[in-house]
Structure 1
Amino acid sequence: MKGDEKFCVNTVSRFTKNPLCLQKAVALFTSYYQHNIPGMFFSVPVFLSLLWTLLKADIIADVLSVLCVALAHKIVPTHEFLLALFTCVREKGFTSGVPRLLQLTYKMASENLMLSLDCFDGVRNIPEFQQIIDPNVPDCQRPSVSDGVPISCSLILAHVIVEIELCTQQEDWCCLGKAFRSVCTPCQHPSQVERISGHVAVALLSKTKDNLSVPFAAFAETTCPTEDPNSLLMGFIGRIGVSLMQRYHKTQQWAKGRSLMEVLTRFKINYSMQRGLFANEDGGSRCNLITLAAELFFLGGSLEGALQTLRESKWFVSSNIWPCKEPDLERRSRLLAHLAEKASHRDALEVLRNLPGIQKPNDQVDISKYTPLFNTHLQVCVDRLVLPVASDLAYLMLSRKVPVDGAVLQALLHKLGKQNQWQRARELFGRSLTAGHYPAVSAPAEFMSLIVPSQLGEVELALTFEMFITVNASFILPLPEMTPATFNIILKRSQESEKEYLSAGSRLLSAALIPQPNLEVHYITVNSSQEQVFTLSVASALRWLRRNQMWANKLWSEFIK
């Protein structure tokens, strides 16, 4: 008979019309569809006719057997039949069928099949059910419908699923929150609550009359205010939030995404350590989830919200417990690059400082790719005279070995000097020397000659003089105040024109007037390489050193070993 569905349906239809053959109809129907899926010859009218005939004959056990087989194929009767069945069980006292009826009711609801609240009202009115949900009866003494879950809990789960549907249709999100709270009890196993949470997430994503509204807001208002942040309820609300976050991001509903994030933040719902409720959301790293949250804020028009999200997470990227993959790092880097473009100069510096691989080395990140981004921001800060930020950014680049544009660095040093920010200028110049930015500057200790490249600007030359004098302090200090001794300064040629080289000589003379007290520098000759040679009066160096030795020795000795 396997595969002969037409024969089966016709025979069941014939047997149903003969009261003496009803049990044969049940046996044939259940036997066939236990081993075969409904096909083109399956008949809903025949199925319903069999159920109604059995119900009128008060053969409840066979009704439940037919329902059980049909439910395996997600086939359910009409609401009218279910109400009639509940009424029959209640009025005629078929107590033995109550556990199985509740089990089937739970399965129908948990499979998200269409049921009505009237059906559940019918179940509530069964006297045996009233005894089952008596709060004075311990769970362990209640009969079980499936997987060891007490009947009362199972029915509550089924009823909640139907209430979710009703709340969705009525857009009553506060009521939905109350229904969800009712199921998050110690009675329920986490797997059951997870299933309900999935239904809630789908409900909260449903289309509403007001397309801009975010149902999660009213839902959270009802469920969150009095809850312990570490409670089971808050954990699953966090997971619901994650599912909504991912859906809003995927569908580019940025305004809704931002509103959702504002609610999650306001109620301190911990979403960053949660996973979504659906299979295609599981396995995302914490880094990626935080990035996604910040993107929802940013693309929703809230730069500050995005920054605050990252700050609250302490700019988390990865850990042994929460590792991340290379695509997660690339996504974070792209987001931070966009934030740096829009943020204030100081906030942008904070963003750049927290790019993956900058704070902590990461084998998955080549930080040299950040070079254009860093230099662009540095150029903007220099052009707009935001010199403290520019200096801090330059320090960061030098310390992390991110190449600094030489022309921008020179412009920054020049402007620091002109703005009388000499402490920053000295520290930046010293760090630049250490990082190898001025290889042509040669000022060895106890050597009577200073060699400087002609491309240095006035401020750089003045700082070079300070450094040269400081490193030769042990030679200078014992000399008398009016010593006639001098140091030689050689101005090295580079690729510039003769006019530019002569201009460099003028800069060198002007640079000697910057330190306080001034230094005495004089042009004396041209050497065999056609390079200008100057002399620096040791007496003037001695005067400068006596006034500035304390801070100069501490500062320059840090950079000149």
Structure 2
Amino acid sequence: MCRFQHVPVDGDEKLCIETVIRFTKNPTCLQKAGAVFTGYYQNNPPGVYFSMPVLLSLLWALLKAGMVSDVFSVLSVSLDHKIVPGHEFLLALFNIVREKGLIGVVPELMQLTFKMAGAGLVLSLDCLDCVKNTPEFQQTVNPNSSNYKPAFIFQLCTKQEDWRRMGVVFRSICQSSKHPNQVGRISGRIAIALLSESKDKLSLPFVAFAETVCQNEGEDSLITSFLGRIGVSLMLRYHKTHQWAKGRRVVEVLSISKVNYSTLKGLFGNEDGATRCYLVTVATELFLLSGSLEGALNTLRENKWFLSSCSWPCEPADLESRSRVLMRLAEKTSHRDTLEVLCNLPGLKEPNDSVDISRYGPLFNSHLQVCVDRQILPVASDTVDFMLSKNLAVDNALLQMLLQKLGKQNLWLRAREVFRHSLSVGYYPGVSAPPGFMALIVPCRLGEVELALAFEMFITVNATGIFHLSETTTSSLSITLKRTQSCESEYLSAGSRILSAACIPQPKLIVHYTAVNSSQDQVFTLDVSSARCWLRHNHLWANEVWMH
């Protein structure tokens, strides 16, 4: 053989490729062709003259000539530049090694295989089977050995859909690795693998994987953390692709595994913007759109309806997404659950300058209407109470209807609470009963139950004066029915309602029509003895209700 190296100088890639082509065609120069290729590309990156077909021709020629060590040299150099031949070549290389019984080269072959898988080569099932059946395979890919290359074993597990084995390998990596960034990169590959279509359409790869990974792990462990991040990436992907049932199953598995997924980030760059609020919303929507209302509610409750905090801020878009999901959920749940959902709309529990809560008024009034119509009065009462506490406008007609129905069903405790709260925030501006003045003014629009409650309040706030009046006193308690802009017939019927309302309290009150004052308002008198009798029977609870 010529004693000169004949390797092209650095940068002369054109001469290198031309020489490799010429030598490859001559069987006696094959080894020199490999030397020229490795000699040049060991020191130079592939450039414009590099040719993949030339490399493949060289590799196949060396393989057919049985020059396995030269094949390894060329492969090793090409892999340094992330240049990988197809799986057909790798399969042929394994067959040659097996047929010739070259046991001594198997470790190097396995290392090259790992590097090829790591560089992105997708192995065929035939190739994977060939690798798996190599006697040295189990020893070589042992997770505890220094030769272990995760890219290959994960690819093998993916092809064979052996998700439990993938979980075992992942646990081993987490336990032995001191570099979280490395575990993060491996977790990203696993997430992609778990998204692959399974032959069993009903199974979800993540389930078996997670069950294997989460064995006696604490919630703060590295393993649980990266399992959660894998789950978050899967959850976001399934949500984006509208695979609601699969996404829901991922969330269920994370919850069962006690993984606090809402505080974790996904594994991919485009998921960095997913806030904690958004993750809770996504999880909720996965349950909702897969038909599990209970799952959606439990997800929100388990996360305490989380929206934002100093440590976990959210964006206005996140609040809009949450509002949209909650409104949709509120349309499908029971009356009590619907109220809980509405009460947790953004901006209500925790004020937020970017949210105009007044827009929620129609939603609450609509719910109130349904509850009143269907006689779900305790929920209707709670709805009004919450609306009043948040300064949401309550429909006056619905409020009056609710009080009327509460009274008719003898739910007086709730009726008094609703009336007193409404009165305190200005819903009955025409009702006036100053303590000590022995006079009550009521607008003519009040219903019988509202009037009866106004009588109770009127008597209670004047209790001291009433008890001090003698039995033979000529003093009286006056009730003035104020006119409004309503029609005359309504005003006249209001007089009849006052007389009827006096019969509602127990014991009954005695009210008489007296006259019309100078403002053309009807004036009535409340009998002092009947008021005193009512007080003797009711003063204990009445003081608690109307004097505090």
- After TM superposition, the score normalised by the length of structure 2 is 0.86
Cα RMSD after superposing both structures: 3.4
CA distance in structure 1 between the aligned counterparts of 2:143 and 2:453, rounded to whole angstroms? 87
Are 1:177 and 1:219, in contact at CA under 8 Å, matched by a contact in 2? yes
Query: What CA deviation, in whole Å up to 9, does each residue of 1:251-301 have, x standing for no partner?
Result: 112222333333333333332222222222223111111111111111111
Residue 395 of structure 2 is aligned to residue 410 of structure 1:
no
Aligned residue number for residue 146 of structure 1: none
CA 490–48 in structure 1, closer or farther in 2 if over 3 Å, else same: same
What stretches of structure 1 of length at least 5 have no aligned partner?
136-151
User: Which of the residues 14, 21, 33 maps onto 1:13?
Assistant: 21
Partner AA of 2:18 in structure 1: N
Query: Could you tell me which of 83, 86, 90 is aligned with 1:79?
Result: 90
2:499 counterpart of 1:509: yes
Moved more, 367-376 or 275-284: 275-284
From the superposition, tell whether residues 61 and 342 of structure 1 become closer, same or farther in structure 2 (CA, over 3 Å): closer
For residues 184 and 101 of structure 2, the distance between their equivalents in structure 1, rounded to whole angstroms, comes to 32
Amino acid at match of 1:110: G
Relative distance call for 1:92 and 1:468 in structure 2 (3 A) is closer
User: Counterpart amino acid of 1:399?
Assistant: S
Aligned-residue offset at 1:464: 0.9
- Map residues 291-370 of structure 1 onto 2, 5 A cutoff: 291-370=281-360
Larger mean Cα displacement after TM superposition, 486-495 or 194-203: 194-203
Distance in structure 2 (CA, Å) of the matches to 1:444 and 1:378: 32
Asked if structure 2 preserves the Cα contact closer than 8 Å seen for 1:161 and 1:196, the reply is no
Shift of 1:501: 0.9
Please point out which of 150, 156, 163 is paired with 2:156. Answer: 163
For residues 90 and 443 of structure 1, do their structure 2 counterparts lie closer, same or farther at Cα, with a shift above 3 Å needed?
farther
Deviates more, 1:453-462 or 1:203-212: 203-212
1:243 and 2:236 equivalent?
no
Q: Identify which of 364, 374, 379 aligns with 1:384.
A: 374
Q: CA deviation at 1:86?
A: 7.7
Deviation digits for residues 199-219 of structure 1, max 9, x if unmatched? 222222222334343222233
Query: Residues 369 and 111 (structure 1 numbering): CA distance in 2 closer, same or farther, change over 3 Å?
Result: farther
Is the counterpart of residue 374 in structure 1 residue 364 in structure 2?
A: yes
Is the 1:243–1:281 contact (alpha carbons within 8 Å) kept by the matching residues of 2?
yes
2:56 pairs with 1:56:
no
Distance 1:35 1:528, change over 3 A: same
Q: 1:153 to 1:487 in 2, by over 3 A?
A: farther
Which aligned pairs between 1:512-531 and structure 2 lie closer than 5 A? 512-531=502-521
Change (3 A) 1:88 1:7: farther
**Equivalent residues of 2:265, 2:271 under 8 A apart:** yes
Residues 1:307 and 1:447: Cα distance change in structure 2 (over 3 Å): same
Matched length: 532
Could you tell me which amino acid in structure 2 is paired with residue 10 of structure 1? E
Q: Are residue 109 (structure 1) and residue 117 (structure 2) matched?
A: yes
Look up the SS of the partner of 2:261 in the other structure.
coil
Residue 397 of structure 1, CA deviation: 0.9
Q: Is the 8 A contact 2:78 2:84 kept in 1?
A: no
Q: Which secondary structure state, in structure 2, belongs to the residue aligned with residue 441 of structure 1? A: coil
Alignment of 1:120-199 (within 5 A): 125=136, 152=145, 155-168=148-161, 172-187=162-177, 189-199=179-189
CA distance in 2, matches of 1:530, 1:222: 85
Q: Which residue of 2 aligns with 1:233?
A: 223
Does the 8 A contact of 1:317 with 1:356 survive in 2? yes
> Structure 1 CA distance, aligned partners of 2:438 and 2:406?
29
Q: Which one-letter code corresponds to 2:120 in the other structure?
A: N
After superposition, the C-alpha distances for 1:477-500 in whole angstroms (9 at most, x for unaligned) are 211234331122221111221111
The answer to whether the 8 Å contact 2:143/2:173 transfers is no
Q: How does 1:485-500 map to 2 (within 5 A)?
A: 485-500=475-490
Partners of 1:392 and 1:91 lie apart in 2 by 82
Q: Relative to 1, partners in 2 of residues 1:51 and 1:233: Cα closer, same or farther, differing over 3 Å?
A: farther
Specify the code of the residue in structure 2 equivalent to 1:267. S
**Aligned match of 1:438 in 424, 428, 438?**
428
| CA positional deviation for 1:20 | 5.1
Mapped to 1, the partners of 2:156 and 2:182 lie a distance apart of 16
Structure-2 residue corresponding to 1:26: 38
Conserved? CA contact 2:143–2:169, under 8 Å: no
Q: Which moved more, 1:211-220 or 1:362-371?
A: 211-220
Task: State the Cα distance separating 1:37 from its structure 2 match.
Answer: 5.8
Match of 1:450 among 432, 440, 449: 440
Query: How far, CA to CA, are the matches of 2:444 and 2:397 in structure 1?
Result: 14
Which string of whole-angstrom CA distances, capped at 9 and with x for unpartnered residues, describes residues 381-430 of structure 1? Answer: 11111111111111111111111111111111111111111111111111
State the one-letter code of the partner of 2:481.
L
1:19-73 C-alpha deviation (Å, 9 max, x unpaired) = 55653343344555x05267678534345257649982845884355223442x4
Q: What does the per-residue CA deviation read over 1:163-203, in whole Å, with 9 as the maximum and x for residues that have no partner?
A: 233323xxx33333334334332236322322222222222
Whole-Å separation in 2 of the counterparts to 1:282 and 1:113 = 28
Shift of 1:153: 5.0
Give the CA deviation at 1:82.
Answer: 5.2
Per the TM alignment, residue 88 of structure 1 is displaced from its structure 2 partner at its CA by 12
TM-score normalised by length of structure 1: 0.85
Is residue 33–residue 58 contact of structure 2 (8 Å, CA) maintained in 1? Answer: no
The residue identity in structure 1 corresponding to 2:484 is: S
Equivalent pair of 1:90/1:125 in contact (CA under 8 Å): no
Structure 2, unmatched stretches of 5+, are: 1-8
Deviation of 1:225 after TM superposition, in Å, equals 4.7
* Distance in structure 2 (CA, Å) of the matches to 1:293 and 1:473: 57
Q: Could you tell me the percent identity over the aligned residues? A: 53
Cα distance in 1, alignment partners of residues 467 and 100 from structure 2: 110
1:401 has 2:391 as partner: yes
